């Protein structure tokens, strides 16, 4: 008589991922590793044998959010392992939440997995199924049609307001063949948009002396321009060129070399450049390069080469020592630069940052007033740029398709090449086809615009 053996149910892992896209990639890697060890994923607290909280520690407000998330996970589940940037402050975490099972730092994948094995030992091995299931690929926490491609960890800068090098260490670039192999795999699996991320994309490969590797029979350097050129050769299974979007690009001279790739349609005409300010005095205090005049010349040159290029950036107002003259310099610079997408932040002291010791901290009410003024200027510029697109036909990528309304009309949310997910605007569509789905590229006629978003209909 044969008796069947009942396999134990797989242990389940819950995940709360906070912070930047780089942390999201860390979360994906951790979950992928755990699934290879036989764990399943839980969509809620109740079903999880242990909950992982991937924290952010960049700003004090982010640390507070991380501590609140840890507290919520403890209240809802009770079994919590903490990782991520705030994991470097284990004492502070344990002081607030002594119940946590383990604390590890940023991108310490092995330690996280070891902690999970200790507190929720796997109940079955990774090779229970003799036939791999179709879903047995890397776990993604983003929609199927776009993916973050992390090319390095850490940063060699020592900006006065930032503690990233303390949290994530000095620049550590991935091998170029590993980056390209991952990109190729993502596109083959359905990714239509690659978002290249790091702390400093322009510095990719500096730490390895731009070490070359063999890629498809040719030598390719670990350098931003080589990487961009190779990513531009990728094609989806349908033969389309995926969008490739570059984030965190410091405006080093070699950035000029990627603009022609955008003009040729090989790279998405979009650059995310962390300018932070324009006043030479403030930039010096921030310990950042002060070449704002030359940058304006280069912006003009880039737009001559690739008229469709969209430039996004972020700026800090109220940095210690920032005077009204410094702030007005920034406003005048923004008027001349005519950036497409701008985010502004009020300066916030971060424990361990050099800026905390600087004199002449700006009062909170002045920070608020300057924040409002910079947003008024940038919103006006954005509104004018988007209004100029009304009547034109542009390509968008679809993020979400809605249900038919009472008249049977179906709407959709999409993005243009000028819009990165989560941080920029959207293109809202009406009267789309019933066959339209997330990830589709479609040409649309722009019918209307406001300060941040476009509205249109399939062309």
Was 85 annotated as part of a binding site? yes
Sign for the pseudo-dihedral over CA of 66, 72, 74, 77? negative
- Integer Cα distance of 297 and 253 in angstroms: 12
Residues β-bridged to residue 212: 221
Determine the straight-line distance between the first and last CA of the chain, rounded to whole angstroms. Answer: 67
Q: Rounded to the nearest 5°, which phi and psi values hold at 5? A: -95, 125
Which tokens in the block code for residue 11?
């242990």
Which tokens in the block code for residue 39?
């764990």
CA neighbor of 371 nearest in space, from 397, 398, 345: 345
- Integer Cα distance of 158 and 164 in angstroms: 9
Reported for 206-209, long-range contacts at CB under 8 A and 24+ positions apart, including other chains, are: 206/156, 206/171, 206/173, 207/156, 207/170, 207/171, 207/172, 207/173, 208/173, 208/175
Strands (E) located in 76-204: 80-84, 102-103, 146-150, 152-153, 172-173, 193-197
Residues β-bridged to residue 215: 218
Was 306 annotated as part of a binding site? no
Q: Is residue 347 left, alpha or beta, with left meaning phi > 0 and alpha meaning psi from -120 to 50?
A: beta
**By three-state DSSP, how is residue 448 classified?**
strand
Q: Are strands 50-55 and 427-429 parallel, antiparallel or unpaired?
A: unpaired
Q: Do 185 and 149 form a contact (C-beta atoms < 8 A)?
A: no
CA neighbor of 310 nearest in space, from 342, 333, 345: 342
Was 159 annotated as part of a binding site? yes
Residues at the annotated binding site?
Answer: 20, 56, 85, 155, 159, 162
Residues at the annotated binding site for [4Fe-4S] cluster?
Answer: 20, 56, 85, 155, 159, 162
């Amino acid at each position: 008589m044969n008796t069947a053996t009942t396999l134990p149910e797989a242990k389940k892992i819950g995940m709360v991922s906070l912070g930047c896209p780089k942390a999201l990639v860390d979360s994906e890697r951790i979950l992928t590793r755990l699934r290879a060890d036989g764990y399943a994923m839980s969509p809620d607290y109740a079903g999880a044998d242990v909950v992982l909280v991937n924290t952010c520690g960049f700003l004090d407000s982010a640390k507070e959010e991380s501590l609140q998330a840890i507290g919520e996970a403890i209240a809802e589940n009770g079994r919590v392992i903490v990782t991520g940037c705030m994991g470097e402050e284990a004492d502070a975490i344990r002081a607030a939440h002594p119940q946590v099972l383990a604390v590890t730092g940023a991108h310490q994948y092995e330690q996280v997995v070891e902690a999970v094995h200790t507190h929720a030992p796997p109940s079955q091995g990774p090779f229970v199924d003799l036939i791999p299931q179709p879903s047995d690929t890397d776990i993604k926490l983003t929609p199927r049609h776009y993916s973050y491609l992390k090319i390095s960890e850490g940063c060699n800068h020592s900006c006065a307001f930032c503690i990233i090098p303390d949290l994530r260490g000095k620049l550590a670039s991935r091998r170029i063949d590993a980056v390209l192999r991952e990109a190729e795999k993502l596109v083959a699996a359905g990714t239509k948009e690659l978002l290249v991320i790091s702390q400093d994309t322009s510095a990719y490969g500096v730490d390895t002396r731009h070490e070359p590797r063999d890629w498809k029979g040719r030598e390719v350097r670990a350098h931003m321009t080589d990487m961009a050129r190779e990513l531009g050769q990728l094609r989806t299974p349908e033969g389309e060129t995926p969008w490739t979007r570059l984030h965190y690009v410091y405006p080093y001279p070699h950035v000029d070399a990627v603009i022609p790739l955008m003009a040729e349609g090989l790279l998405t005409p979009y650059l995310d450049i962390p300018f932070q300010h324009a006043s030479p005095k403030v930039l010096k205090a921030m310990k950042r390069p002060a070449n704002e005049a030359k940058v304006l010349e280069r912006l003009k040159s880039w737009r001559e080469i690739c008229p469709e290029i969209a430039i996004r950036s972020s700026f800090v107002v109220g940095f210690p020592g920032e005077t009204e003259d410094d702030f007005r310099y920034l406003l005048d610079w923004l008027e001349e630069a005519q950036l497409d997408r701008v985010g502004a932040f009020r300066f916030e002291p971060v424990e361990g940052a050099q800026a905390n010791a600087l004199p002449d901290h700006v009062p909170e009410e002045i920070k608020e007033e300057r924040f409002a003024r910079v947003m008024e200027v940038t919103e006006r510029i954005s509104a004018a740029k988007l209004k100029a697109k009304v009547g034109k036909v542009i390509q968008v990528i679809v993020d979400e398709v809605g249900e038919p309304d009472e008249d049977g009309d179906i709407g959709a949310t999409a993005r243009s090449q000028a819009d990165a997910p989560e941080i920029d605007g959207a293109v809202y569509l009406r009267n789309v086809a019933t066959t339209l789905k997330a990830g589709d590229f479609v040409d649309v006629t722009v019918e209307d615009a406001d300060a941040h978003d476009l509205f249109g209909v399939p062309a």
